[in-house]
Amino acid sequence: MGAPFDYTYIFSYFPKLLSTLGMTLLIVAGSLLVGIVVSFLIALPRLYRIPVLNGLARVYVSFFRGTPILIQLFLFYYGLPEILKLVQIDMSKAPVLVFVILTYGLHTSAFMSETIRASVTAVDRGQVEAAYAIGMKGYQAFSRIVLPQALAIAVPVFSNLVIALLKDTSLAFTLGVMEMTGKADTLGALTQHFVEAYISLSLIYLAVSLTLEKLLRIAERRLLRHELPDPAGQRRFRLQRKRGYRRLIAGIGSGKGGAEA
């Protein structure tokens, strides 16, 4: 099967694959944007227990977490134009990329909304009460007190989600989007050096996910600034809080624990 192994191809494929890295990152960034907006819309009704919407949000999350992303991709690609045709919107001319970003966005939003819910719930209730006590309104208390703390709690889980999303984008080629995996497929078929193409591909994915992980760890440290520099006398106290924080994170998880894609 294929031509004999020749490691020089691995290096010669790097620049060719890197030229499509932009497309992969575009899908990741676009779906993150969609995902963040939608996940707030999903998480808020569940946090404030708004009657009907709460149930709908629960079904939404259950569906997107309960079906494989590959099936969702096809479902949206073929189904969305049909459904929108019923309300007189023509999507037959829309580029595939729109469907891909939309599907990945909605898929991530389900996982992200769970993360948001868990991290907002994890912020000490006393914090909100203290905010109310000094006269803040509901929205002020949320945006100034709860959100920054919840964000710091959410970042490690969020980082896992971003990396999972990056890996999931390798499926976009099934709809014909020319991102890295699709490119590797083409290169392999062209030269019959499949193994080299995929080794090169996986090395790039590895480098990108390690970089993303490192960047998000820096972000986490910045968001936790308020926890770190402590007067010397309180050091013991701080240590305990740190450990509590770590244990908290371990307990949250997004549910995206599997090896999907």
Partner 1 sequence: MKIDPSFIWTAFTQLLPSIPTTLAITAVSVSCGFIIGLIAALLRIYKVPVLGQIASGYVTFIRGTPMLTHLLLIYFGLPMLLGAVSAQFGWKFQPSSIPMIGFAFISFSITAGAYMSEVIRAGLLAVNRGQLEAAYSIGMTTPQALRRIVFPQALGASLPNLSNSVIGMLHGSTLAFAVSVVEINAKAQIVASTNWKFFEAYLAAAVIFWGLTLLIERLTAVIEKRINMYNRGGVA
Which residues make up the interface to partner 1 (CB under 8 A)? Answer: 1-2, 4-5, 62-63, 65-72, 74-75, 78-79, 82-83, 163, 167-168, 170-171, 181, 188, 194-195, 198-199, 201-202, 205-206, 209-210, 250, 253, 255-261
- Shortest distance in whole angstroms from residue 220 CB to partner 1: 18
From residue 141, how far is each of 137, 181, 223 by CA, in Å?
Answer: 6, 45, 18
Residue among 62 and 143 whose Cβ is closer to partner 1: 62
CB of 63 to partner 1, least distance (A): 6
Based on CB atoms, which residue is closest to partner 1, 124 or 260?
A: 260
Residue 203 or 223: the one with the smaller Cβ distance to partner 1 is 203
Closest distance of CB 210 from partner 1, Å: 6
Residue 103 CB, nearest approach to partner 1 (Å): 12
- The secondary element (H helix, E strand) that includes residue 246 is helix 235-252
Q: Which residue has the tokens 């004999």?
A: 4
Given the complex with partner 1, which of 6 and 230 has the nearer CB atom?
6
If you search the block for the tokens 């984008």, which residue do you land on? Answer: 169
* Single-letter residue type at 130: A
69 or 146: CB nearest partner 1: 69
Write b or e for each residue in 120-133: b if 16 or more Cβ atoms lie within 10 A of its Cβ, otherwise e.
Answer: bebbeeeebeebee
Residue 8 half-sphere exposure toward CB, CA atoms < 13 A: 0
* Nearest-angstrom CA–CA distance, 256 and 76: 21
Nearer to partner 1, 128 or 253 (CB): 253
Work out how close the CB of 199 gets to partner 1 at its nearest, in angstroms, rounded to a whole number. Answer: 7
Interior angle at CA 170, CA 116 and CA 39, nearest 5: 15
Name 147's Cβ contacts closer than 8 Å, sequence gap at least 6. Answer: none
CB nearer to partner 1: give 135 or 258: 258
Nearest CA to 177 out of 41, 40, 26, 33 is that of 26
| Shortest CB 224 distance to partner 1, Å | 21
Query: Shortest gap between Cβ of 258 and partner 1 (angstroms)?
Result: 1
Residue with tokens 């030269």: 191
Residue among 21, 1, 2, 3 at smallest CA distance from 200: 21
